[in-house]
Structure 1
Amino acid sequence: MAPRGRDTSRAIWGRLVCVLVATQLLAVSAGSSSTGKCRCLSTESCWPSQAAFAALEANLSQPLLAPQQLAKPCYDSPTSDECQTVQQSWTDGWWRSNSSHSAGGTENTNFAAYSAPDGHIEACFLNTTLGYPCLQGSIPTVGVDVRSVEDIQLAINFAVTHNLRVVVKNTGHDYFGRSTARGGFLIWTHHLKNITYHDTFKPSGAPSNGTVYSDAMTLGSGIQWQEAYDAAFAHGRDIVGGIAPGASVGAAGGWVQGGGHSILSPQYGLGVDNVLEMSIVTSDGKYHVVNAYQEPDLFWALRGGGGGTWGVVVSVTYQTHPSTPILAAFFTTSITTSALNATTTASATLRTLLTEFVRVAPAMTDSGWGGYGMIEPSSDTGERALSYVGIAPASASNASAVMEGFFAFAQQLAESASPEDGALNITNATIVALPNFATWETALFRGQTGEVGANVELGSRLLPRELFVNNQTAVADAALSLEVPYVGFYVVAGGAVSRVDPDSVALNPAWRSALAHVVFSAGWADGASRSTIDATRSQIKQSEAALRALTPGGGAYFNEASLYEVDFQQTFFGSHYDRLRAIKKQYDPSDLFIVPEGVGSEDWDADLNCRA
């Protein structure tokens, strides 16, 4: 998106003034709840004046933002070209990140809504015929479109001065709602788009005999993985990164701060294992360049200690890897059975197939396979079935044999399974040799839509390798017992992930003994009642409890997990939490940066607005 010029600032201020007037009137009628222990929200009389915002804007490189809901053009003018674009692009993550209204959007729409204490929901639904008004919901009313360190410092200092609720956002791809908050003040990093390729890279402050790295890349915190991949591919290199239709995942923000899993992780480790240096502005307005030599405690915390918690990340420098030939596996099935009933959600055939998948998963990661298994209703029968897509280095001597062995088992099962157990139809079971990861990523994910634009909540658990080796049936049974529409077996641990010192980064040590990240999701239609939403959330909680019972004392991936963890400190950070808490107090003593289930959030109320 091209930067908005100063000639458009009057229009922006016109909308902003309306918002400010409305919120001031609300504050007068409702009274201000802002006290010394609470943040000041836009619905309260303590909210900064128009003059204060004008003074801030005068020093920024860009006009202030007045974020709005993505569907709002269809309420303002249903027949407009702008509304048509919204309707056509609703499930396109790239559009949601880059549209002219994207500062106010979230990749999953439920986090743009607001559930009021009395049960009613404020949102802005794409379907205007539902009869609901388009309301601001949880979208902040004012934001800063930062383009430099100085912009970030100005925004942070303003927020500290006025005691504002701060949220940091790039794309809005976030299953916790960490990048939005009702009544908050938004710091939008999306236009920090610098990419620098280093033939050689020596971290700042390194001694003369310090390690010099070759082929590193520094990414601004507004970069999305599609952009990062293109830069790496242009140099004949691969980089450990996220995968999503529509390129909605940021490359140098919450993804890496939460750990950053990748289909390349069994080969090269997690995102945090590939970071050489980071830069950040903390709550005191200071700019830090951190690495193994400079402020190593903060560098440690940023690698797995959770996004939105430590400050505003400006950039991340990654090690890249040589681009080499790969094998790509594709496996899809459908199942039809006459034996399913109201209390049976999985066929015997699916149970047998999944148990075998669990059994061979250790051999997959040992030979370099990384990939995504998915259990969901098949399109042709509507009954749950298993699919898988994965890649492995072509140089791995046994990678092809391991996958072919699983395919052979599936074929034998298809030939022998009875209709009562479930007739298995294998629609694809192929292994393809490709020249590089770039060919695979470009073919599968460029120009794709999906995953975004709906109401979705998640739960997850890291399953240790020991379970896959010694108790495959328990793993399969637990996964199939989850009463949710989608269960993912993301085999993105093991291999190189398991060979990293668990204490070298802040990431939960449970990752180092895990083999798979099992994630499940459920959602609801726009306009659903609070009771329907609560019932869906109950499914998430029950499913989470089932996997927790399978892995007592285990962990989950901070970026794709549940908002209802009973012990988030242990689940997301494990034995590292106490050290993280101490570093948090050092670098953010006022808790300016607080996110749901993040470090220090236990000291705040459920809305993260007032100290508990």
Structure 2
Amino acid sequence: MKIAWLVLSLVHLALSKPSCRCLYGEACWPKESDFSDLALQLSQPLLYPKPPGSACYPANNPSGNCSEVMLNALHGRWRSDQPGSMQAPNFETFMFLNGTISACYINATLGFPCTQGSVPEIGVNARTIQDVQATVKFASTHNLRLVVKNTGHDYLGRSTARGGLLLWTHNLKNVSYNPAFVPSGAPPEKNYKVSFLALTVGAGVQWYEAYDAAQAQGRVIVGGAGSTVGAAGGWIMGGGHSPLSGRHGLGVDNIIEFGVVTADGAYRTVNAYKNPDLFWALRGGGGGTYAVVLSATYETHDPVPLTTIIGQANFTSPTIAKSVITEFVRVHPTLADAGWGGYSFLSKESLSFAFVAHNVTVTDASTALEPFLSSARNATGGGPLFQSVTLPYDSFYTFYLETFITDGEVGTNMELGSRLLPHDLSKQNPEKVAEIMLAIPQGVGINFVAGGAVSKVDPETTGLHPDWRKAIALVFFIEGWVDGTPASDIQAARARIRNGLDTLDGLAPGSATYFNEASLYEKNPQKTFFGSHYKKLKDIKDKYDPMGLFIVASGVSSEDWDGSLNCRLN
């Protein structure tokens, strides 16, 4: 009896002990000979990524060029070309539980040592399907923490992990255009319309490259406002909002087909006819979760002229601020229904905005916005306190060249919080929305990228959170800090993010938001990011990745792992 009890106890202990990934520096880490064997299967030499700042520490990186780093640290294209760089460098750092920070700050005069932080020590520069397959199989065989990274545009830090193996897809740059693209496996029935004017982009293609490629064919593609964001990575798998969304829908509404490598190392074509469940999940179920996406095929559109109305208002009192912002909110539902979009930032002191109207004349656009413009002029007294200008463009591409070709908000430490803004609330109670947004001390940005065509899509056709189809915008706020900031101050900034989220929760009882532009500190990320689709998404995740090779912060099945995402809890 005692022996049986002992055996059962040992079995229980073995089963209850967390199963952890093998990390760099641990005894289980693959031997040099193992990596040599992997290298023989790859088209490129293995990578040994370093944080960009290491170039400013000769002892760490003797061949580094610190002048080049300092010159380019705020440039998105340069950062995306560095395997060890993130667009927000705080995700290159690592904070231990005791508050110690491992980092490599570009400013060496701060007096901190240059350490690896969260940047993986070794990686693969993927150029072929076979490179990706070999890496996936190697990571699975050796139980490694696999990290998939393209550009490093990631507000949740999903593109890096301390001690992991990096799979860098940035150089998968193939682009092709097909004026009669037919998804693989589509039914051949007569008169069945399945062909598309389609652009296929590799995993490493960025939006500035995709926009150029579409323009060369006289076409328009629905893409992101960040020109250096990847066109076939986390952007599309998180939903993908765009300045064109009001007219043509979100990225997930325009995708036709993916080429992926799943956790078993198999290459799969994924569309409405082949692996349709995975196709559903990849359209909004979150990046880095189901497979490594190697290519994405988008439907393209005819170009049309557009009109923008840009304005700035300054407030001299809280009463004026509330009055103007209430009217600003009030106009959004009508514009959303007409397919408009835009971007704005507001605080207790000011409002700046840029509305975009596709295939709308300057006269008609001005007429549509005049009620708000008049109320803003009256409330502020006009003059230098309120200014606006209306600009015509012959196409989205021309607008993009003037507006989005350079990336802002890169190279600085930042985290954010966000919520989707419901259409009905904005229409029925704009004053409440104004009060909530003005209560955020950091000020808020409004990505006016929903409504219109986005709202016309059946929410069950993609894995995206259904609340996107009832929203008109994403409201967000940012917290940032300078390099060398103590852990206690960073934690205080994160506490302010939590407080801000509590305030923004007043916008919607469901507390839904966009997975790509959100906080790491959500109380219920499954509900917030995926809503009623979560169970189905998890079932698909378990089907294609039963061992959990692809795990990212707040992603599907992340609740099965500890806070480090290295050890399985159940």
Q: TM-score range by the shorter chain?
A: over 0.9
Any conservation in 2 of the 1:283–1:588 contact (CA below 8 Å)?
yes
Identity %: 50
Matches within 5 A, 1:300-339: 300-335=280-315, 337=316
Shift in CA distance, 424/480, structure 1 to aligned 2, threshold 3 Å: farther
Q: Could you say which residue in structure 2 is the equivalent of 1:242? A: 224
How big is the shift at 1:126? Answer: 1.6
Q: Secondary structure at the match of 1:163?
A: coil
How big is the shift at 1:392? Answer: 1.0
Aligned pair 1:552/2:499, yes or no?
no
Q: Could you say which residue in structure 1 is the equivalent of 2:402? A: 443
Which deviations, in whole Å up to 9, do the C-alpha atoms of 1:443-493 show, x marking residues without a partner?
1233x3531111100110011111111111111111111122x41111110
Which deviations, in whole Å up to 9, do the C-alpha atoms of 1:311-363 show, x marking residues without a partner?
1001110011101111112112334x4x6xxxxxxx32222111111000011
Aligned pair 1:394/2:359, yes or no?
yes
How big is the shift at 1:80? Answer: 8.5
Q: Work out the CA distance in 1 between the residues paired with 2:337 and 2:534.
A: 30
How big is the shift at 1:575? Answer: 0.6
Number of residue pairs the alignment of both structures matches: 549
Q: Work out the CA distance in 1 between the residues paired with 2:151 and 2:173.
A: 12
Q: Could you say which residue in structure 1 is the equivalent of 2:14? A: none
Q: Could you say which residue in structure 1 is the equivalent of 2:12? A: none
Which deviations, in whole Å up to 9, do the C-alpha atoms of 1:158-199 show, x marking residues without a partner?
001100001100000000000000000111000110111011
Aligned pair 1:607/2:567, yes or no?
no
Q: Work out the CA distance in 2 between the residues paired with 1:59 and 1:324.
A: 47
Q: Could you say which residue in structure 2 is the equivalent of 1:27? A: none
Shift in CA distance, 570/260, structure 1 to aligned 2, threshold 3 Å: same
Matches within 5 A, 1:31-50: 37-50=19-32
Q: Work out the CA distance in 2 between the residues paired with 1:601 and 1:178.
A: 12
How big is the shift at 1:546? Answer: 1.2
User: 2:269 aligned to 284, 289, 293, which one?
Assistant: 289
How big is the shift at 1:394? Answer: 2.9
Q: Secondary structure at the match of 1:66?
A: coil
Q: Secondary structure at the match of 2:83?
A: helix
Aligned pair 1:579/2:536, yes or no?
yes
Q: Work out the CA distance in 1 between the residues paired with 2:296 and 2:158.
A: 20
Q: Could you say which residue in structure 1 is the equivalent of 2:8? A: none
Give the alignment's TM-score, normalised by structure 2. Answer: 0.94
Which deviations, in whole Å up to 9, do the C-alpha atoms of 1:8-47 show, x marking residues without a partner?
xxxxxxxxxxxxxxxxxxxxxxxxxxx8700000031100
Give the alignment's TM-score, normalised by structure 1. Answer: 0.87
Aligned pair 1:460/2:426, yes or no?
no
User: 1:57 aligned to 39, 48, 51, which one?
Assistant: 39
Q: Secondary structure at the match of 1:477?
A: helix
Matches within 5 A, 1:432-581: 432-446=391-405, 448-484=406-442, 486-581=443-538
Any conservation in 1 of the 2:199–2:298 contact (CA below 8 Å)?
yes
The letter of the residue matching 2:229 is V
Matches within 5 A, 1:108-187: 108-187=88-167
Any conservation in 1 of the 2:123–2:167 contact (CA below 8 Å)?
yes
Q: Work out the CA distance in 2 between the residues paired with 1:552 and 1:466.
A: 13
Q: Could you say which residue in structure 2 is the equivalent of 1:589? A: 546
The letter of the residue matching 2:328 is F
Which deviations, in whole Å up to 9, do the C-alpha atoms of 1:189-210 show, x marking residues without a partner?
0011011101111100011134
The letter of the residue matching 1:571 is T
Which deviations, in whole Å up to 9, do the C-alpha atoms of 1:528-569 show, x marking residues without a partner?
111100110011000111112331124100000110111111
Q: Work out the CA distance in 2 between the residues paired with 1:79 and 1:400.
A: 58
Q: Work out the CA distance in 1 between the residues paired with 2:533 and 2:465.
A: 7
Any conservation in 1 of the 2:94–2:162 contact (CA below 8 Å)?
yes
Any conservation in 2 of the 1:371–1:491 contact (CA below 8 Å)?
yes
The letter of the residue matching 2:327 is E
How big is the shift at 1:407? Answer: 1.9
Q: Could you say which residue in structure 2 is the equivalent of 1:231? A: 213
Q: Work out the CA distance in 1 between the residues paired with 2:349 and 2:151.
A: 32
Q: Work out the CA distance in 2 between the residues paired with 1:398 and 1:508.
A: 34
* Structure 1, 79-88 or 271-280: larger mean CA deviation: 79-88
Q: Work out the CA distance in 2 between the residues paired with 1:297 and 1:444.
A: 37
Q: Work out the CA distance in 2 between the residues paired with 1:568 and 1:219.
A: 30
The letter of the residue matching 1:444 is T
Aligned pair 1:362/2:314, yes or no?
no
Aligned pair 1:86/2:86, yes or no?
no
Q: Secondary structure at the match of 1:300?
A: helix
Structure 1 unmatched runs, 5+ = 1-34, 340-346, 377-382, 417-422
Q: Secondary structure at the match of 1:431?
A: strand
Any conservation in 2 of the 1:38–1:610 contact (CA below 8 Å)?
yes
How big is the shift at 1:424? Answer: 6.7
Q: Could you say which residue in structure 2 is the equivalent of 1:213? A: 195
Any conservation in 2 of the 1:563–1:597 contact (CA below 8 Å)?
yes
Aligned pair 1:276/2:259, yes or no?
no
Q: Secondary structure at the match of 2:567?
A: coil
User: 1:97 aligned to 80, 84, 91, which one?
Assistant: 80
Shift in CA distance, 398/570, structure 1 to aligned 2, threshold 3 Å: farther
Which deviations, in whole Å up to 9, do the C-alpha atoms of 1:119-140 show, x marking residues without a partner?
1111111211110011100000
The letter of the residue matching 1:556 is T
How big is the shift at 1:81? Answer: 8.2
How big is the shift at 1:214? Answer: 3.2
Q: Work out the CA distance in 2 between the residues paired with 1:165 and 1:438.
A: 40
How big is the shift at 1:213? Answer: 2.7
Q: Work out the CA distance in 2 between the residues paired with 1:79 and 1:586.
A: 47
Structure 2 unmatched runs, 5+ = 1-16
How big is the shift at 1:211? Answer: 2.6
Aligned pair 1:413/2:413, yes or no?
no
Q: Could you say which residue in structure 1 is the equivalent of 2:13? A: none
Q: Work out the CA distance in 1 between the residues paired with 2:146 and 2:332.
A: 42
User: What do you get for the CA RMSD once the two structures are aligned?
Assistant: 1.7
Any conservation in 1 of the 2:90–2:413 contact (CA below 8 Å)?
yes
Q: Work out the CA distance in 2 between the residues paired with 1:151 and 1:551.
A: 44
Q: Work out the CA distance in 2 between the residues paired with 1:470 and 1:372.
A: 22
Q: Could you say which residue in structure 2 is the equivalent of 1:13? A: none
How big is the shift at 1:398? Answer: 4.6
Moved beyond 4 Å, runs of 4+: 77-81
How big is the shift at 1:404? Answer: 2.9
Which deviations, in whole Å up to 9, do the C-alpha atoms of 1:92-148 show, x marking residues without a partner?
0111012xxx10000001100000111111111121111001110000011101011
Q: Secondary structure at the match of 1:76?
A: coil
Any conservation in 2 of the 1:327–1:433 contact (CA below 8 Å)?
yes
Q: Work out the CA distance in 2 between the residues paired with 1:81 and 1:530.
A: 28
User: 2:172 aligned to 192, 195, 211, which one?
Assistant: 192
Q: Work out the CA distance in 2 between the residues paired with 1:70 and 1:351.
A: 44
The letter of the residue matching 1:437 is F
The letter of the residue matching 2:483 is D
The letter of the residue matching 1:167 is V
Any conservation in 1 of the 2:419–2:507 contact (CA below 8 Å)?
no
Q: Work out the CA distance in 1 between the residues paired with 2:72 and 2:398.
A: 25
Which deviations, in whole Å up to 9, do the C-alpha atoms of 1:486-508 show, x marking residues without a partner?
41111110000000000000000
* Structure 1, 459-468 or 386-395: larger mean CA deviation: 386-395
Q: Work out the CA distance in 2 between the residues paired with 1:314 and 1:568.
A: 27
